Amino acid sequence: MKRTVLFVLIISFMVSMSIPVSASERFNDVPNGHWAEAAISYLSDRDILNGYSDGAFRPDNSISCAEFIAIVCRLSGMKDVASAGDTHWADVYISYALYKNWYANESSGYDVPITRELAAKILVCAFYNIADYQPSDNAKTITDLNKIGEYYLDYVLYAYELNLLTGYPDGSFRPNEKLTRAEVASMIYRMLSSDGQIPETAQSVEVPVLLYHHIASQGDYTVTPEKFRSDIKELLEAGYNPIFIDELYDYASGTGDLPDKPVLITFDDGYDSNWKYAFPILKEYNVKANIFVIGWSVGQAISKDGKTAIFPHFSWNKAKDMEDSGLVRIYSHSYDMHDSGVRKKDGVSYSEYIDQFKGDINKLGELIKSNLGHQCIAFAYPYGDYTYLADKLLEEMGYYATFTTVPGISTVVQGDLSSIRLMDRITMDQKGESALHLIEHYLAQK
In a domain, 9, yes or no: yes
Answer whether 71's CB lies under 8 Å from 220's CB: no
Q: Are residues 93 and 216 in the same domain?
A: no
The predicted-structure confidence for 313-347, as pLDDT tens digits, reads as follows 999 999 999 999 999 999 999 999 999 999 999 89
Q: Are residues 248 and 318 in the same domain?
A: yes
Domain count, the chain: 2
Q: Are residues 375 and 269 in the same domain?
A: yes
pLDDT at 17: 41
Which residues contact residue 444 at a Cβ distance below 8 angstroms, ignoring those fewer than 6 apart?
none
Neighbouring-strand partners of residue 291: 267, 330
Element (H, E) at 205: strand 204-207
Q: Are residues 171 and 227 in the same domain?
A: no
d(CA 103, CA 126): 10
Tell which residue, 104, 113, 121, has the closest CA to residue 158. Answer: 121
pLDDT at 193: 77
Question: What average pLDDT does range 288-292 have in this prediction?
Answer: 98
In a domain, 397, yes or no: yes
In a domain, 308, yes or no: yes
**pTM score, whole prediction:** 0.78
Q: Are residues 231 and 266 in the same domain?
A: yes
Which residues contact residue 403 at a Cβ distance below 8 angstroms, ignoring those fewer than 6 apart?
209, 211, 266, 292, 378, 379, 380, 381, 384, 422, 423, 425
The predicted-structure confidence for 349-404, as pLDDT tens digits, reads as follows 888 999 999 999 999 999 999 999 999 999 999 999 998 889 999 999 999 999 99
In a domain, 14, yes or no: yes
Q: Are residues 272 and 141 in the same domain?
A: no
In a domain, 179, yes or no: yes
Q: Are residues 106 and 227 in the same domain?
A: no
d(CA 320, CA 261): 28
Q: Are residues 162 and 84 in the same domain?
A: yes
Q: Are residues 134 and 275 in the same domain?
A: no
Neighbouring-strand partners of residue 423: 403
Q: Are residues 270 and 399 in the same domain?
A: yes
Neighbouring-strand partners of residue 147: none
Q: How far apart are the first and last CA of the chain?
A: 34
Instruction: For helices 153-161 and 116-127, give the axis angle rounded to 10 degrees.
Output: 70
pLDDT at 199: 39
CATH number of the domain bearing residue 215: 3.20.20.370
Q: Are residues 177 and 260 in the same domain?
A: no
In a domain, 199, yes or no: no
Note down the domain range covering 346.
204-444
Q: Are residues 277 and 407 in the same domain?
A: yes
pLDDT at 18: 41
